[in-house]
Amino acid sequence: MKITRDVITDLLPLYFADEASADTRALVDAYFATDPDFARRARAHPESSLPRAGSAYSTKELEMETLQRTRKLLRLRATLQGAVIFLTLLPFACYFDEKTGFHWMLLTKPAAMLVIVPLAIAAWTAYLMLRRRLSTTGL
């Protein structure tokens, strides 16, 4: 099989990153000996032979970024879940007054419910949207 310039070009990122095996290094060096002009250009601009963004070589950074984003979304989901539970159950809270006795917050504080109910609805909406977003991505 004849080794072409395209094959050597594919091997250059490994060669310049010192990650190539001894055989691969020998192959590239042998090709450089047969084509000194290509060797000179490749050595003058090794960054042009390095992987481009989005290639397999940047998977570690991409994985870390994805992991951090997922952790952040999971923390947000847990916080929203706590807010949803609290705001949903708050209207059913009760308190005891020594003079008047036992009271349900829903019945004795209707003005507060005008604030709590819309907050609960907003929290439920945000929670369900985030939950759907996480479930569609496979989490």
**Tens of each residue's pLDDT in the chain, 139 residues:** 788 888 888 888 888 888 889 999 999 999 999 988 888 888 887 665 544 544 554 678 888 888 899 899 999 999 999 999 999 998 888 888 888 888 888 888 888 888 999 999 999 999 999 988 888 655 5
Phi, psi values for residue 86, rounded to 5°: -60, -50
Strand partners, 125: none
List the domain boundaries for the chain. 5-50, 58-136
Record the tokens describing residue 120, joined without a space: 């609960």
Contact partners, residue 114, CB within 8 Å, separation at least 6: none
Q: What are phi and psi of 118, to 5 degrees?
A: -65, -35
Query: Model-level pTM?
Result: 0.50
